[in-house]
C-alpha cells in the first residue's frame, strides 16, 4: 500500500545497517486490486565477517485478525447507534484538543446539545422512531462541524461537538448554521417530526482551561 512504503523502505534500510531482524505489518495488493493486511518477518544470515549473505523470512495473511481488532477498537470508542464518538473517547479527544490549542492562540468551543421533548416523542411513537431521530441528528452534527471538529453522543439525547475557532465571527456563523440544521423537521416513518434542540457553549480558554470544567460550563449554558 502506498502509505506503508516509506515505513518499509526505512525498516529495510535500517536492517541492512544493523543486521537486526524485521517484523512489521503491511497491506499488500492482490491480483484483484484489493489490499489485505500481512505480517512480514525477515532475519539475516550473516557470513563470518558479519556481512549479510541473504535474508529469509515469511509473509503471513493476518487480514481477518486485523479487521477483528479494528472492529473491537471502533466499538470501544464509538456509540453503537449513531456511530459518533462515545463519551469516553469524546472527552479524551477534547483533552487532546485543549492541550494542542494551549500555546497556539486558537480557541476551542465546546457545544452541548440536548434534544427538546425527546422523551415525549419516544413515549408517543416508540423507540424505533426515537432511534431514527438520534441517527438523523448525528448526521446533521457531522455535516455542520465546519473544519476541524469532533462530534460525540454522550448518552441519551445528549450530543456534543467541539470546534477549533480561530475567529469568533466564524464560530457564530457555524453555530447559527447548526441551529438551522437542527431545526429542520425530520421525516421518520413517513411523518415529519420536530428536532428542536437546546445548545450550550463554553470557550477555551475564556471560560475554563480543562475539559471537565469546560463541560460543566457548557452544561450550565
pLDDT bin (cut points 50, 70, 90) of residue 145 is low
Per residue in 125-138, is it b (16+ CB within 10 Å) or e — as a string?
beeebbebbbbbbb
Q: Using alpha carbons only, how large is the chain's radius of gyration in Å?
A: 25
pLDDT score at 17: 85
Residue, of 123 and 91, whose pLDDT is higher: 91
pLDDT score at 148: 59
pLDDT score at 100: 81
Domains, in order of start, for the chain:
2-70 (2.10.70.100), 78-220 (3.30.70.270)
Q: Is the pLDDT of residue 111 over 90?
A: yes
pLDDT bin (cut points 50, 70, 90) of residue 90 is very high
Active-site residue numbers?
Answer: 157
Residue that is written with C-alpha cell 452544561 in the block: 219
The length of the chain in residues reads: 221
For residue range 153-196, what is the model confidence (pLDDT) as tens digits? 999 999 999 988 777 888 888 889 888 888 888 887 778 877 78
pLDDT bin (cut points 50, 70, 90) of residue 92 is very high
Average pLDDT, the chain: 88
For residue range 18-72, what is the model confidence (pLDDT) as tens digits? 889 999 999 999 999 999 999 999 999 988 877 889 999 999 999 999 999 888 8
Contact status, residue 183 vs residue 196, Cβ threshold 8 Å: yes
Residue that is written with C-alpha cell 465571527 in the block: 169
pLDDT score at 29: 95
Amino acid at each position: 500500500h502506498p502509505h506503508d512504503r516509506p515505513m518499509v523502505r526505512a525498516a529495510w534500510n535500517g536492517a541492512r545497517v544493523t543486521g537486526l531482524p524485521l517484523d512489521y505489518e503491511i497491506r499488500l495488493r492482490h491480483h484483484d486490486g484489493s489490499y489485505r493486511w500481512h505480517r512480514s518477518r525477515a532475519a539475516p544470515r550473516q557470513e563470518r565477517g558479519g556481512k549479510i549473505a541473504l535474508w529469509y523470512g515469511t509473509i503471513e495473511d493476518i487480514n481477518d485478525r486485523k479487521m477483528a481488532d479494528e472492529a473491537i477498537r471502533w466499538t470501544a470508542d464509538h456509540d453503537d447507534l449513531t456511530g459518533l464518538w462515545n463519551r469516553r473517547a469524546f472527552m479524551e479527544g477534547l483533552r487532546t484538543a485543549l492541550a494542542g490549542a494551549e500555546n497556539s492562540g486558537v480557541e476551542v468551543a465546546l457545544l452541548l446539545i440536548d434534544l427538546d421533548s425527546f422523551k415525549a416523542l419516544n413515549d408517543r411513537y416508540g423507540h424505533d422512531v426515537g432511534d431514527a431521530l438520534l441517527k438523523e441528528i448525528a448526521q446533521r452534527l457531522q455535516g455542520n462541524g465546519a473544519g476541524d471538529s469532533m462530534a460525540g453522543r454522550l448518552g441519551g439525547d445528549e450530543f456534543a461537538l467541539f470546534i477549533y475557532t480561530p475567529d469568533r465571527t466564524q464560530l457564530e456563523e457555524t453555530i447559527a448554521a447548526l441551529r438551522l440544521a437542527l431545526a429542520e423537521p425530520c421525516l421518520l416513518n413517513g411523518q415529519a417530526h420536530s428536532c428542536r434542540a437546546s445548545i450550550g457553549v463554553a470557550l477555551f480558554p475564556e471560560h475554563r482551561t480543562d475539559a471537565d470544567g469546560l463541560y460543566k460550563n457548557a452544561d450550565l449554558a
